[in-house]
Structure 1
Amino acid sequence: MITRKALVVAAHPDDVDYLASGTVARWAAEGVETTYCVVTDGDAGWSAGGVSRAHVAAVRRAEQTAAAKVVGVEDVRFLGYPDGELELSGPLRRDLARVVRQVRPQRMVMPSPEINWERMPDSHPDHRVTGEAALRVAYPEARNPLAHRELLDNEGLEAFAVPQLWIFGGPRPNHHVDVTDVFELKLAALREHASQTAHLADLEEQLRRWLGDNARRAGLRPGRLAESFQVASTA
């Protein structure tokens, strides 16, 4: 299967940069056009007081847009749902289905709907809700012309079947991408999220440790770095 377009769905700004931006950078170098769809603005992700959620949202949107450009992504879409309050709702699934039908990707990347007991930060409730909603949209809702009928009737968005799913942050990865050669891009993208990473003196060390662990589990040679996914077909 030739992949020309990919869609990455994430719950918060910076999720994709922690878990998948090295892979996205590799795809960009191969000519894959990638779109980010960020469900919330991360407007509850702020440690200092004295600012409004609207201010936080504006800062984090700008950070994610800048981070995306570092790895070659120009199309970043925000759905604007409240951070920390996601529910598996019809409106959320409809909004995700809209983006799928607009982008029409051969590959869709999303957080896992399952709990990863070995790494709980990957299993934030917003991540799992986003993953479940994206999974339902990828199969079967986006491909079903009778699902979210208003997208077809009112917006002219034809049904579309996503052939391949890449799931990050889950407990059962079965595919690993060597991101050693694009590690500096991944690190630079994360540093664009200054509101979240500027205080982390050990950010690079932490990333190398996580990615190194992935690479070892994948059987790559010492010194390599990898991102991990569960890849599945919808056929």
Structure 2
Amino acid sequence: MTESSTGRLRPMPEDWRRALAVVAHPDDLEYGCAAAVAAWTDAGREVVYVLATRGEAGIDTLDPAVCGPLREREQRASAAAVGVSRVEFLDHRDGVIEYGTALRRDIAAAVRRHRPELVITLNHRDTWGGVAWNTPDHVAVGRATLDAAADAGNRWIFPDLAEQGLEPWNGVRWVAVAGSATPTHAVEAGPGLERAVRSLLEHRTYIEALTDEDPETYAREFLTSTATAVGERYGGKPAVAFELFGR
């Protein structure tokens, strides 16, 4: 194993006020990021969620026309549990998101609209640590988010955005990738862990379709074990890990 996958994790930067989290589906942020988000909003920082889809293809027993609105409601309640009041959906089709200029443009527009210093996304690599295959949606959205953080600051890329009143924003200082197999930084999870459990539990319909285990037991054990494992590289304190790219 490399030093990047075994060494001590550094604290995430704290000299910022606004963050934008961009992921593919409802629940993506709740499987690991929510405790960090709770800590940030408790400290008075603003966090906005942008989701590429409404997760309408995520539950086999529910027709997408029913599933999409239900999962949107669950996501809004989930965000509220950790202090996030603004949740936006880009309305790409769940399961068949395509990496390309259309996706980059939509994310760049969100960056220009919200003007964050920190952008957060999910693992954009082909696998989860070489153990499990990642989904095409996660790969496409994660990669497009990394690219769009730069696109947003270049007035000659997607010039129609400026015509719509979205002026270039070159103020993104970092992109933080959650779920990376090679994390570099972390946020202490303890203060926000209980709210993170409540946040994941708001996705009850999805969890009940995923497992026969009691939803609260499932959510608590998953988040606690993940945070505890990260904490072994963060001074023994439960934590949320990120791979941080500076700009």
Q: Same fold (TM over 0.5)?
A: yes
1:174 and 2:156 are equivalent in the alignment:
no
Give 3-state SS (helix, strand or coil) of 2:244's partner.
Answer: strand
Match of 1:105 in 2: 116
Q: Deviations over 1:67-110 (max 9, x none)?
A: 00000000000011111101112211111111100000010001
Matches within 5 A, 1:1-235: 2-48=15-61, 51-115=62-126, 116-120=128-132, 123-139=134-150, 141-153=151-163, 155-161=164-170, 162-198=172-208, 199-201=212-214, 202-203=217-218, 204-216=220-232, 218-221=233-236, 224-234=237-247
Normalised TM-score (structure 2): 0.87
Q: Deviations over 1:151-201 (max 9, x none)?
A: 012x11111111111111122100111111211100000000011224442
- CA–CA distance in 2 between the matches of 1:143 and 1:176? 27
**RCO greater where, 1 or 2, for CA within 8 Å and sep 6 or more?**
2
Normalised TM-score (structure 1): 0.91
- The structure 1 segments of at least 4 consecutive aligned residues displaced by more than 6 Å after TM superposition are none
Q: How many residue pairs are counted as aligned between the two chains?
A: 226
State the AA in 1 paired with 2:244.
V
Kindly, what percent of the aligned residue pairs are identical? 31
Q: Deviations over 1:9-50 (max 9, x none)?
A: 0110000011211111000011111100001111111132xx
Q: Structure 1 residues 209 and 119 mapped into 2: Cα distance closer, same or farther (>3 Å)?
A: farther
- CA–CA distance in 2 between the matches of 1:168 and 1:31? 21
- Higher mean alpha-carbon deviation, 125-134 vs 204-213, is at 204-213
Q: Deviations over 1:96-140 (max 9, x none)?
A: 11110000001000112223334536x32211110111011012x
- Higher mean alpha-carbon deviation, 200-209 vs 156-165, is at 200-209
Q: Are 2:129 and 2:180, in contact at CA under 8 Å, matched by a contact in 1?
A: no
The alignment's C-alpha RMSD in Å is 1.5
Q: Deviations over 1:206-233 (max 9, x none)?
A: 22112111111x1422xx3211101121
- Structure 2, unmatched stretches of 5+, are 1-13
- CA–CA distance in 1 between the matches of 2:187 and 2:37? 10
Give 3-state SS (helix, strand or coil) of 1:17's partner.
Answer: coil
- Structure 1, unmatched stretches of 5+, are none
